[in-house]
Amino acid sequence: MTSTTLTPQLRQELHDAVLGAARDIAALLGPQTDPTVPIPGAEWNVGEAAAHLLLANQLMAEVAAGTERPYGDGTPGGIAAANAVSLDQFTERTPAVLAQGIVAHATAFVDAANGQQGDTPTVTPMGPMDLDTFASYLLTHMLGHGWDLARALRRPHMVDRRRVELCLPFLMTAMPRVVDQGAAKDLTATYTLGLRGLDRRWTAAFTRGEVTVTEGAAPPGGSDCTIVTEPVTFFLIALGRCSPWSAIARGKILSWGRKPWLGPVFPRCFRAP
């Protein structure tokens, strides 16, 4: 299980970001919001996406409080199937009601997490992780769907660089769990990953369909390819909300190294949850 060690200050900032994201999403879901507006590029409409957020926040709050809540099989496909079942069983689609629930359950999560140590082992829909990484997971999940809602409703989104930084503990933990085995099965390569403006680096080492992600520089021998991405773009690509090819064309992604042709291979090796 991956462990994330956050300072008390960073942990408080993460919890504040969870509550802030929930409130920003709730602000999109006022009494005049039409729940039938479709989410661009998705099967859900606004009401369904908001209902999913309420249900997910509730599940994560209960897990943080110590309740066992099996949900899918930890794979992107299994989680998608569990999402469909939960939405069929929960029929509330009134935006204002859903907004209240999203905030209430995010608050319950933070209250439960504040009563425990950040390294508390937790079993989540995406597998085992510590409680602080789980909070990062909750933030990531809300921001992804919050971006969808804002785009559908033609309102400003709530994803920014600092919030993306707080999502990194989960995004780096989840990376090995969302590898597309078919796409990565023949890849043996080492990547250095970075975010523009952030003085941190990660190493992603592929060995025939498996990837190991560690923070820090590449091991002796160096990396085959270095990829540096604008933070919000990295977040949107990781969640399947942005095409890496358009990002490359817009200069949001730069890659170099002794095998620069491996840069475009990297995003094809993952299936967004």
**In the beta sheet, which residues pair with residue 253?**
229
Q: How sure is the predictor about 68, in pLDDT bands with cuts at 50, 70 and 90? A: confident
State residue 3's pLDDT score: 55
Cα gap 224→229, rounded to integer Å: 17
Across 87-102, b (16+ Cβ under 10 Å) vs e yields: beeeeebebeebbebb
State residue 114's pLDDT score: 96
Tens of pLDDT, residues 261-270: 999 999 999 9
- Tokens 């085995």 appear where? 181
Tens of pLDDT, residues 85-111: 999 999 999 999 999 999 999 999 999
Contact 49, 119 (CB under 8 A): no
Residue 146 DSSP one-character state: H
Phi/psi at 225 (nearest 5 deg)? -150, 135
Tokens of 161: 């660089």
Cα gap 240→229, rounded to integer Å: 15
Helix axes 46-64, 76-89, angle to 10 degrees: 110
Tens of pLDDT, residues 9-38: 999 999 999 999 999 999 999 999 999 999
What is the chain's mean pLDDT, rounded? Answer: 93
Least confident interval from 148-152, 165-169, 182-186: 182-186
Tens of pLDDT, residues 116-145: 999 999 999 988 999 999 999 999 999 999
